[in-house]
């Protein structure tokens, strides 16, 4: 039984979702060369508007945040206009959509931005600690050793996140989800593997949480806490090595986030069956014991297992990823008990 997935859910006094099924953020690399959303993207999101909430693919807040080809931005007028076509398509079909705000930090690459946007030929991160590997879809590009950001850099980044949030509202989004997960910039501040600073942004849980909380607070001040959400990865599993001390950081961070009464908190994980010794189990179970506001679960759940998890109070809302790519009518298929089209990498390029 999946009846609970089709109950409406009030995020707050401002936003009520028509069901508990969210479309998870899914990078599709469909923007044009100026990182402007395309008509194909408007068609893609519009077809999936039966979700209670669509969380957009990750959206770059400024040029040096790009680490993948053709990922959309929210820092130029043309990009804002392009997203307005997308949000109009979603709203016309009765849906709601949040923009996921993104800076990739040490897994950015100057190939994408140094010449195109005229910015410095460098990568920035909390510390000058590189990530070993190559860029997805462009394996000829090796990741570089980043430059550790200064206090002035951090101040500018906070301002840029807030401006991107304001741009998102201008583009018609119903709110924003800050991407603080999956080993990208904000998450890099929250883990000892990537944050080796000795100043007020490193070494202790409070210091390591300082920049992420500053971003949250700046966005809340700009667009309201009711339209602000956050994704976190307390269990390091991609782009970062795990460290048992990371739990101390999230033990501090999560209660601080709860005080801010955000629209929701979203777990960043590919498979929520993963267990982390220092967290005492799965990432979602750990967060649920520490954070009492609206929680979004994700990570290889089916409608049935997600519905059961909601019934067991493991989280409140279910985000579905790849099945939404191969099934634009995912919500209808689940409601009517229809068989789902199986996702495969081979079909990916042709699916909108």
Please, are residues 285 and 294 in contact by the beta-carbon 8 Å criterion?
Answer: no
Q: Give the tokens for residue 347.
A: 């079909």
For the chain, where are the alpha helices, taking DSSP H only? 39-46, 77-92, 151-170, 185-189, 205-223, 246-259, 283-290, 303-311, 322-326, 330-336
Residue 208's nearest CA partner among 164, 166, 243, 170 is 243
Residue 35's nearest CA partner among 9, 73, 3 is 73
184 flagged as catalytic: yes
Q: Please give the backbone phi and psi of residue 231, each rounded to the nearest 5 degrees, phi first.
A: -110, 135
- Distance, in Å, from the CA atom of 205 to the CA atom of 212, rounded to the nearest integer, reads 12
| Dihedral sign for Cα atoms in the order 128, 129, 132, 133 | negative
| DSSP characters over 135-171 | ETTEEEEEP-PPEEPPHHHHHHHHHHHHHHHHHHHHT
Number of neighbours of residue 333 by Cβ within 10 angstroms: 16
Task: Using the structure block, give the residue that is written with the tokens 């000795």.
Answer: 198
Helices 246-259 and 283-290: crossing angle in degrees, nearest 10, is: 50
Please, are residues 194 and 240 in contact by the beta-carbon 8 Å criterion?
Answer: yes
- Burial letters for 39-55: b for 16+ Cβ neighbours within 10 Å, e otherwise? eebbebbbbbbbbbbbb
CA distances in angstroms from 39 to 14, 82, 85, 89, 229, listed in the order given: 29, 8, 8, 10, 27
Q: Which of 44, 45, 184, 291 is catalytic?
A: 184
Active site residues: 184
């Amino acid at each position: 039984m999946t009846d609970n997935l089709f109950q409406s859910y009030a995020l707050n006094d401002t936003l009520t979702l028509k069901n508990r099924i969210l479309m998870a953020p899914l990078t599709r690399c469909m923007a044009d060369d100026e990182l402007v959303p395309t008509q194909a993207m408007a068609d893609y999101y519009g077809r999936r508007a039966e979700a209670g909430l669509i969380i957009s693919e990750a959206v770059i807040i400024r040029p040096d945040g790009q680490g993948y080809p053709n990922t959309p931005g929210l820092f130029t007028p043309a990009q804002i206009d392009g997203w307005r076509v997308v949000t109009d398509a979603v709203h016309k079909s009765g849906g709601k959509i949040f923009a996921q705000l993104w800076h990739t930090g040490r897994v950015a690459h100057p190939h994408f931005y140094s010449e195109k946007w005229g910015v410095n030929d460098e990568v920035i991160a909390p510390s000058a600690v590189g990530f070993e590997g190559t860029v997805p879809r462009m394996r000829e590009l090796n990741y570089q050793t980043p430059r550790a950001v200064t206090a002035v850099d951090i101040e500018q980044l906070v301002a840029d996140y807030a401006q991107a949030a304001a741009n998102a509202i201008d583009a018609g989004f119903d709110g924003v989800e800050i991407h603080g997960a999956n080993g990208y910039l904000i998450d890099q501040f929250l883990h000892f593997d990537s944050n080796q600073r000795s100043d007020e942004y490193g070494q202790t849980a409070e210091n390591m949480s300082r920049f992420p909380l500053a971003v949250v607070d700046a966005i809340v001040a700009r667009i309201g806490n009711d339209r602000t959400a956050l994704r976190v990865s307390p269990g390091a599993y991609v782009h970062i090595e795990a460290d048992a001390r990371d739990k101390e950081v999230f033990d501090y961070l999560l209660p601080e986030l709860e005080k801010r009464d955000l629209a929701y908190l979203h777990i960043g994980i590919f498979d929520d069956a993963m267990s982390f010794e220092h967290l005492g189990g799965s990432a979602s179970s750990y967060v649920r014991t520490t954070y009492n506001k609206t929680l979004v679960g994700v990570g290889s759940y089916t409608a049935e297992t997600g519905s059961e998890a909601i019934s067991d109070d493991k989280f409140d809302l279910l985000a579905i990823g790849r099945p939404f790519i191969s099934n634009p009518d995912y919500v209808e298929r689940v409601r009517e008990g229809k068989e789902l089209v199986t996702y495969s990498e081979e079909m990916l390029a042709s699916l909108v």
